[in-house]
Every structure is written in C-alpha cells, then in structure tokens.
Amino acid sequence: MATENKRISLSKGDSIYLFSDGYYDQIGGLENKQVKRSGLIQLIKEYSSKAIDEQLNSLLYYIENYLHDGKEEQFDDITIFGNIYDQNIYI
C-alpha cells in the first residue's frame, strides 16, 4: 500500500477531526443500522456552529442515544479528536 504526504492550509476558524471507525461502524437506532461515515460527517456539519467541546459532547450524546434506541451494546472503541484553529497555519 503506497502512502503519500499532503500539506494543507488551515485558516482561523477551520476545524479538523480525526476519528476511528468505531463511531460510524456502530449499529443501533430504531432500524438497527450503522451510523456510517457519511452519517458521522453529517453530524459534524450539523454541530459545527457549536464550540468544540459542545460539538464533541453532542456527538457523544447522539451515539449513546443511538445505542439505547436500538438496544445495542458498544462493540468497538470510539475515538474522536476535534480541533478548531485560532490562527492560520500550514501543515
């Protein structure tokens, strides 16, 4: 598997998220379906106007309720890191 390096510019107010597959692979909800990657990205967009700690708390609240609604147990680790930049950077 080939790897590649990319550089990106982030402007003040931009946010970045790193996450494991545990969140979007989770099964639950009323229909016992996966959250899916697209579902997680939609939630991040939906919560993006909140402060970063409120965004992460909202994501946690959502998945806890999603599990409860589907009567499912968490079966994988869930890791989410989010950061909002307060200055322009190039990484």
Q: Please, where are the H alpha helices in the chain?
A: 37-47, 52-70
pLDDT at 56: 92
- How many angstroms separate the most distant Cα atoms in the chain? 44
Residues in the chain: 91
Q: What are the pLDDT digits (tens) for 16-51?
A: 999 999 999 998 888 889 999 999 999 999 999 999
Name the percent of the chain lying above pLDDT 90. 54
Task: Please tell me what DSSP assigns to residue 35.
Answer: -
Total H helices, total E strands in the chain = 2, 6
Q: What are the pLDDT digits (tens) for 47-74?
A: 999 999 999 999 999 999 988 887 888 8
Phi-psi category of residue 36: left, alpha or beta, with phi > 0 → left and psi -120 to 50 → alpha? left
